[in-house]
Each structure stands twice: as C-alpha cells, then as structure tokens.
Amino acid sequence: MQKIGVFVCHCGSNIAATVDVKKVAKMALKEPGVCHAEDYPYMCSEAGQSRIAAAIAEKGLTGIVVCSCSPRMHEATFRKAAERCGLNPYMVEIANLREHCSWIHKDMEEATEKAVILMRAAVAKVHLNTPLQAGESAVTKRALVIGGGIAGIQTAIDIADAGYKVDIVEKTPSIGGRMSQLDKTFPTLDCSACILTPKMVEAAAHENITIHTYSEVEKVSGFVGNFTVDIRKKARMVDMTKCTGCGVCQEKCPSRKTANEFNRGLNTRSAIYTPFAQAIPNVPVIDTESCIKFKTGKCGVCAAVCQAGAIDYKQQDEIITETYGAIVVATGFDTIKLDKYGEYAYGQSKDVITSLELERIMNAAGPTKGHLERLSDGKAPKEIVFIQCVGSRCSDDRGKPYCSKICCMYTAKHAMLIRDKYPDVNVTVFYIDVRTPGKNFDEFYRRAVEDYGVNYVKGQVGKVAPQPDGSLLVQGVDLLDNKQILKKADMVVLATAIEPNPDARKIATMLTASIDTNNFLTEAHPKLRPVESPTAGVFLSGVCQGPKDIPETVAQAGAAAVKVIGLLAKDKLKTNPCTAQADELLCNGCSTCANVCPYGAITYEVRLVNDHGIREERRVASVNSALCQGCGACTVACPSGAMDLQGFSNRQIIAEVDAICR
Amino acid sequence: MSKQSELIAEISGVNPLKCMKCGKCSASCPSFNEMDIKPHQFVSYIQRDDIEALTASKSLYKCLSCFACVERCPRGVKPGKLIDAARQLVLRQRGQEYLSPDEVPALLDEETPQQLLMSAFRKYRR
Amino acid sequence: MPVNQNNEEFRPVIVAFCCNWCSYAGADLAGSSRLSYPADVKIIRVPCSCRVNPMFILRAFEKGADGVILCGCHPGDCHYSTGNYYARRRMTLLFSMLDFIGVENGRTRVEWVSAAEGVKFSETMNSFVAKIRSLGKNVRLGDLRCKN
C-alpha cells in the first residue's frame, strides 16, 4: 500500500476563490492510502515545496498528489521537488484544479465537488504509479533552420556565433526572404536591402553556417537531440563550384516571358535567373519549365556563353541526409490571394495593386526602376487611395480573422514616402482603426498625417470600379462625417492580409509540431514559451508563429537561437521514461503492435520464456525505449493485452475512470 | 435588451456585438445618400435599444435589399438583415397589407427586373 | 433511482479523454480564458487519443458514466503523426457497436480540438453536456455488480 500525501494549492485566490480547498484536503484524508493532506497558498513557491519535502521526510510518503494548476505548468516543478527528497519523480501526479475547475466554474459547491473528484482520480492513479527511470540520449550538436528570410538568417547567425554548426534550408534560389523584396522599412525608413544584405553576407561567410538554397526539407524523423532530416537539393542546372556569377547567361537567355516572382509578377525574367542582384549565393538556377532547352531540346545559349563551363543540363535533384539536435521553423509568410474580393477590382485593373507590389514599384531595382507609375499606361498617378484591412479581421471565409499587424505601419510608410517624393500626389487612406503600438510607431503615423498631409478617412471602401477613362472610382464612407465618398483615383493600393507560408502546414506535419486553424505554428505557451513549439526540439522564429514586423522578428529569432543554444549545450538529454513495455508472458508475437508503431520502435526477438514453470522459446515483442515516444498506439492494438504504457498504464487509466464514475 | 431588440435579433439572426464599426456596409450601400440612418448606424441603434427611432426611419424603405452589405460585411453582422427585420417589425405592428397581391400586376413595369420584384415582396409583404 | 428525463437538476457523469498535446492544452486554454462549461465534465489526460482503449470507455459506461467524449489533435496534426487516425477508426467501430447494444450515439463523441482552440473546447463540452442532459441517465450498460 502506498503512503500518499495530498497537497492542495490555493494559487492565491485563483483556486481558493471557487474551490473550498480546506474541504478538498479534508476529503483527501478519507481516501485509502492517503496519510497526509494539507492546503497552502502557493504550493509551487519555495515554502510550498519545502512543506512537501517535510511531509515526505516525516510521514515516509511514497506517492504525492498536488492539486494545483495544469500539469503542463508545474508538473516538472513538483517532480523535481520530489526527486530532491529522494522520491522517484514519477510518483507525483497533478490534479488540475485551476484550468479545469476553478477558472471555469462559478458555483463554489459545484466546483468543490468536481475538485474532490479530480483529486480522487489522481490519488487512484498514484496508487498504481511505479518508479520510472529516465534514460539518456545524446545531443547532435548541429541545428537546422528552415527558411532563409530575416528570421532564419538571424537565428542561424546567433546560433553560429555561439559556436554551433547551423544549416539553413531555403526553398528559393537565394536567402533574403520577404525582407529582400521591401524597399524601405519603418519606422526609420532605412533601405531594406542596405540593412539586410550585410546580414546575408555574414551568414554566407560564417564558418559555422551552411546554406542550402533551392532546397526543401523532405522528411524528418527522430526526436529532440536526434532528428534525422532528408533535404532535397533541387537541381540548379548550374554547377555552384564553377559559376562565377558574371550574369552573362541571364543577359543572353532567349526565354524572357516568365513572370518574375521576386517582383510579384509585375514584369518578366529569363529562364536562367537569380532572383535579385544581391542574391546569395550569386549563382543562377534554370527554371526548367520555361527553359527552351528543356522544353524543345534546342537552345543551349547559356552553356555556350558561360566562360566557366558551369551549366550542366544533366544535373539531378540530390537528397542529402543530416542529423540535427534542434530544428527552427522560420518559414515566414505570403500575402493572401484576393480572388474572393471582387469589389476591389484587383485583377480587373492593373492599377489596383497590393502593398507588396507597391514595394517593388517603389524599389529602384523593381519593374519601374523605382518610378511611381501606373502599370496600365505608365502615367504618373495624381490620386492614390490606400485601403486598409483587406482580408484582415474578416471572420468569414474570404479573409483572415486576425489583424495582420504590419499593415497600418507600412501604409503610413508608403503614404509618407509618396508624399515626400511626389508632393503633388494626393494620398487618401481608408482605415477601420489605426494600430501603431511600438516604439516610435505612433509618432511615425502622426508624421504622415501632420507633416506630410496624408488624408486619413475613418471608414471602409465598398467598391472600386474601373472607369472607361482608365481611372478608378472608389466608393467609400467617412464614418465620422457620415458621408459616402466617391473618389476618382489613379491607383488603389490594398493592404492585403498576410498568411503563413503555404508550406507551413506540410512542415509542421513533418515535425509533428502543432499548428492552428490559420496555419500559424503554435507556441508551447502563449506568454512564457513563445519561441518553442510544444514538440521538444522544435523552435519558432518569425511570422510562422504569428504576424510580426521586422524588429519583433529579429528579437524572436534571437530568442529562438538562445533556446537552441541551451539545448545544444547539453551533452545528454533525459528521455521520457513513459514508454511502452511488452509483457513477455502475454505476448503472442503477432506483430500487430509493430505495424501501428509510428517510430519503428518495436522489434521481435526469440527469447527463452519461463511461463509458470514451462520454459520455452517464444517470439516476443521488444520495445526500444530510446525510440519509443510513448503514444500508446500499440497498447490498444495489442490483442492479448501484453503491451502497456508506463506512466499511463491500463490499470492507472481505469482507476481514474472508476474514481470519476464512482 | 428590450423585447423589440430581441425580436429584431431573433428575426435577423444577427449578433450586433460582432460589429467592429468598419463601415464596409455604408461604403457598399447604393442608397446611402437617401437614408437618414446609415447602414453602419443600424447596429448602434439596436445596441442602444433605440428601436423607436429606427422603426420611424425612412431608411427602412430606402434599403433596396440588394444585400451588398450582407455579402461584404467582414464580421458576418449583416446590417441588411437587421433593417429587414426592423421593417418586418413595423409591418407586423401595423397589421395590414401595404400592398395586396392583386394590386401587383397593375403596378408592374415591363422593365422591372425580377430581382427588384422579389425584394419588393420581401419588403412589403404582410 | 428513478430518472426524470426533463429534470434540470440531472447531473450527468461525463468522462473526457484528452490527448496531452492538443486537447488537454485546449482545455487549459479554455480555463485560462475563463470559458466555462459544466462541471459534469471530468478530464483524463492521456498521451495521445490512440492511447484510449475501447475498454476504458466500456468501463466508464459500466461504472455509470452518462457520456464519454474523446478529444484529440486535428487529423494530420497528431504529435505522434498518426495516433488520431487509429483513434478515429477504433472509435467509429466502438460507437457503432455501442449504438447497437443501446448506448445511443449521442452519448459518445470524438472531437478534434487543437491547443489553440479553447473556444472550441468549451463549446464542444457545452453542447455535449446539453446532449447528454437531453438523453438523460445512461441505464443501458450500468453493471449492478459494479455498484458499491
């Protein structure tokens, strides 16, 4: 029989205000095996923990139930406290009286009744707990960063600076990401490329960083400390070791009709290309879908003009396999598609553009060489309308329910830059709210209004109608004046909502990291663990976790790097001892469990078994506890009941069920 | 909330609390200039429980029931349905037909689009 | 005890199995967001929805539970890659068998709740409890031998 101590936490008034903690402690004493019960304002505090220690020493407790907050918060705390007193940490169970009881119920009697039942279930479980020993696994001292935008670059540099090897995997031919597409950055109006390219060069030149561009993560297996990752290096058709980056091939390439992704399709590019001038690596790729050589077999101009002989039409995709101790997701974002927003005439008129397209137009390397002009006729616009919240804060299926966070600021930036460069252009911004929390952000927005005379109108736009004369009729509303506004504009810019990179879900699935309904990766705790995924060893950096501007992204990238460094600095990791175990006497060797195991942790061996005096050789399941992650799929699949999961055994769960249904 | 506001909420199936005052409805409304109470204001009248002012408003009859506001509202508030419900409330109270079906053929215009006819029935029936 | 189906005071016993990675965290989020649901729901933490043996559910009904709900990660989002698919298949089979022997389908449910869906968790529990209340006490599988 176990000697169990029950410790009921008040959590200040968080639990005690709705649960009669004294009663829970009193009722605990009536449970079989409970020889100590007490309540305390803060069980997790130093004083609270020492009360547990005192009780263990005094009463010789063999099992502990802490009735407190969610085990996701403090299970580790109490396990460590128990361990310090010589009790096996897995003899501790938590009854979740806060998140699952006091915070959601108002009626004291009802909540107390439930709290008692939850306590009982935990006590019933502890009766069947057995001491477990955590194993150890080695840590591969190398990190993988998925995504080579500013988030990925910064994370990689920070990890590399600490002395660990980092690989960056980037899908496109160059690192740089969205930030490389931007013209200026708020709130200081630095040129985006001017502050980004030094970082790109630093990453490329760093002895600890390996960059795989034009590559994608194909398969991930393993677990924290020991991930095995297959990376597909797509065939560039250009030998990276030979290419000098002279650019002659791009000049001479006869295929020039492919939409230029980097310029958001506003102009075209050659079939052999580097996305932008400062690309890293400065080695072009051949887009085999547009290349004449690949389509018809006849061309080969690039190979002919390449002095270095770097063109290799026979190159094949290559798969490399690496092992990593930690993985950082930094997959970034894209703007949403606007096909469901017919009222804004995007797609009907070339002069209705997204803000990211405007970035390219304003950029000296962009399709108009930085001149602000209408894409339809090349004329200089005189009247520009900006529309905010296009697809953001939209609870229907057309858009996204969240605020994209960056639009208010970049629109103020655009408006200001246009008024600065072209003072004769009128700029009107239709907004729902202007949201500018951030250092020097509101000042920046006010400057746009006060110093640059940008006309902000509180209200939305209902319709943009292209007119026969090429102008755009904007029908909006001024809610403060209660007037509908009809405005003739030459150009309309849509502050389009951002969404996570379309590959985010695929990558999250590979990593078994959680992802929310909007395809943002979920953090382990919304406040206290914002850069970690709940999946151990997976970290989040940048917009893949939620909308962020550049300063926040860089801050988060650094935070993620610190977490990675903290992990890689360890030589050994404790493994989860809650793994499956097969009872050799019950196992009939049917292989059902091996078939459902997602980790291939179950193998079969022929073993000499002593079954109640009968000694015979049997084929029985054997679980590799280093590979087993403790999901329990095998325990249910097993037809003879031989498989059980330590820490969540059949008997333990049934004991909980019984306690609840009693 | 008063009984009448509740009734409007029930008929329309609309939750006025969802409104974030963006004005997309008013920006989309073709009858905006004809209305004394504008589409984006309907919600606040219901929230303020000022149903009397709303039902006395001529906006009720200026709404074309084109439902552009319903279609475009980003929060699913559907102000068009609110005004529709307010109109029904008035018509129910009045307890008389604004138009009897027999009178309709005589009033028909060859040019009248069917959609308009349908929305007129929705509006004036009872 | 005679059962009054319309009795508002009927307090069902409901067992919710929640996977550690998504639904349990979703329940925590419901808690920290103060999204209430009836106290009739008692949550049991399991590592994954695939850890839930049909025996546990039968046991719950045997011991007098009025409803059992299993919550896991959304399909494709399982922390262990495929666990929820196993759970889905097993429960489909179990629930149709339970229905066959007279435990109405409304008393059993599988729901996918992610760690970010506190609202969905509380809504799910509210609707499930309302359903069980409308179904009244479960008398079908109660085993007299199990009564203390």
Given this model, what pLDDT does residue B122 score? 65
Report the CATH number of the C12-133 domain: 3.40.50
Given this model, what pLDDT does residue A175 score? 97
Return the SS3 of A165.
Answer: strand
Given this model, what pLDDT does residue C3 score? 44
Distance CA B91, CA B95 (A): 6
Domains of chain A: 4-127 (3.40.50), 142-177+190-231+322-332+515-568 (3.50.50.60), 248-305 (no CATH), 334-499 (3.50.50.60), 580-646 (3.30.70.3270)
Q: How many CB pairs under 8 A join A and B?
A: 68
- Angle C35-C38-C40 (CA atoms, 0-180°, nearest 5)? 140
Model ipTM over 0.95: no
Return the SS3 of A273.
Answer: strand
Q: Which of A56, A57, A76, A60 is nearest to A68 (CA)?
A: A76
- Angle C65-C66-C71 (CA atoms, 0-180°, nearest 5)? 85
* Predicted confidence (pLDDT) per residue in C99-131, tens digit: 988 888 999 999 999 988 999 999 999 999 999
Please count the CA atoms within 13 angstroms of the CA of C123 that sit on its side-chain side. 7
Contact A477 B27 (CB under 8 A): yes
Residue C4's pLDDT band (cuts 50, 70, 90): very low
Look up the pTM and report it.
Answer: 0.82
* Predicted confidence (pLDDT) per residue in B45-57, tens digit: 888 888 888 888 8
Q: Which of A206, A232, A207 is nearest to A219 (CA)?
A: A232
Does C112 touch chain A if contact means CB atoms closer than 8 Å?
A: no
User: Which has the higher per-residue pLDDT, A314 or B97?
Assistant: A314
Q: Find chains touching chain A: ≥3 CB pairs under 8 Å.
A: B, C
Distance CA A257, CA A561 (A): 41
Which residue in the set A110, A121, A657 is minimally distant from C39, CB to CB?
Answer: A110
Distance CA A333, CA A407 (A): 14
Given this model, what pLDDT does residue C142 score? 64
Any alpha helices (H) in A140-273, and if so which ranges?
150-161, 192-205, 248-252
Which residue in the set C65, C83, C114 is minimally distant from A633, CB to CB?
Answer: C83
Given this model, what pLDDT does residue A517 score? 87
Q: Which residues of A touch B24 (CB under 8 A)?
A: 460-462
Q: Which amino acid is at A597?
A: C
Helix/strand/coil percent split, chain B, to 5: 65, 0, 35
Find the CATH number of the domain harbouring B80: 1.10.1060
Given this model, what pLDDT does residue C76 score? 77
User: Left, alpha or beta for A138 (phi > 0: left; psi -120 to 50: alpha)?
Assistant: beta
C8, C28, C62, C132: best to mutate for the A interface, most A CBs within 10 A: C28
Q: Which amino acid is at B45?
A: Y
The whole-angstrom distance between C63's CA and the closest CA on chain A is 6
**Does pLDDT of C1 surpass 50?**
no
Other CB atoms closer than 10 Å to residue A444's CB: what's the count?
20
Contact C44 A660 (CB under 8 A): yes
Does A508 touch chain C if contact means CB atoms closer than 8 Å?
A: yes
Given this model, what pLDDT does residue C146 score? 55
Q: What total of structural domains would you count in chain B?
A: 1
Any alpha helices (H) in A206-322, and if so which ranges?
248-252, 292-296, 301-305
Given this model, what pLDDT does residue A410 score? 97
Cβ atoms of A568 and A598 within 8 Å: the answer is: no
Contact A477 B72 (CB under 8 A): no
Q: Which residues of A touch C15 (CB under 8 A)?
A: 657, 660-661
Q: Which residues of A touch B42 (CB under 8 A)?
A: none
* Predicted confidence (pLDDT) per residue in C23-39, tens digit: 999 999 999 999 999 99
Give A311's contacts (C-beta < 8 A, 6+ positions apart). Answer: A237, A238, A239, A249, A272, A286, A302, A303
B18, B25, B26, B42: best to mutate for the A interface, most A CBs within 10 A: B26
Contact A110 C116 (CB under 8 A): no
Contact A479 B28 (CB under 8 A): no
User: Which has the higher per-residue pLDDT, B1 or A62?
Assistant: A62
Mean pLDDT of C59-68: 92
**Does pLDDT of C6 surpass 60?**
no
Distance CA A346, CA A354 (A): 8
B22, B59, B73: best to mutate for the A interface, most A CBs within 10 A: B22
The whole-angstrom distance between C35's CA and the closest CA on chain A is 6
Cβ atoms of A521 and A545 within 8 Å: the answer is: yes
Q: Which residue of A has its CA nearest to C23?
A: A514
Contact B22 A389 (CB under 8 A): yes
Given this model, what pLDDT does residue A200 score? 96
**C105 token code pair:** 């389908």
Are chains B and C in touch, 3+ Cβ pairs below 8 Å? no
Does B36 touch chain A if contact means CB atoms closer than 8 Å?
A: no
Could you say which DSSP state residue A62 is in?
Answer: S
pLDDT per 10-residue tile (average), chain A, 662 residues: 94 94 95 94 94 94 95 92 94 96 94 96 95 91 97 98 97 96 94 95 96 96 92 96 94 94 95 95 95 93 94 96 97 96 94 97 94 94 97 93 96 96 96 94 94 94 95 95 94 97 93 89 87 92 96 97 97 90 92 89 91 90 88 94 94 96 85
The whole-angstrom distance between B18's CA and the closest CA on chain A is 10
Range of the domain at B109: 3-123
Q: Which residues of A touch C78 (CB under 8 A)?
A: 512
**Does pLDDT of B91 surpass 80?**
no
The domain locations on chain C are: 12-133
Please count the CA atoms within 13 angstroms of the CA of A488 that sit on its side-chain side. 6
Q: Which of B13, B112, B117, B22 is nearest to B73 (CA)?
A: B22
**A563 token code pair:** 């977490």
Does C30 touch chain A if contact means CB atoms closer than 8 Å?
A: yes
| A118 CB-contact burial (10 Å; exposed 0-12 / middle 13-18 / buried 19+) | buried
Does C142 touch chain A if contact means CB atoms closer than 8 Å?
A: no
- Angle A491-A496-A500 (CA atoms, 0-180°, nearest 5)? 155
Given this model, what pLDDT does residue C134 score? 92
Given this model, what pLDDT does residue B90 score? 82
Q: What is the dihedral of CA C32, C33, C37, C43, to 10 degrees?
A: -30
Residue C5's pLDDT band (cuts 50, 70, 90): very low
Q: Which residues of C touch A636 (CB under 8 A)?
A: 50-54, 86, 90
Q: How many CB pairs under 8 A join A and C?
A: 160
A338, A456, A478, A479: best to mutate for the B interface, most B CBs within 10 A: A479
Q: Which residues of A touch B72 (CB under 8 A)?
A: 343, 462
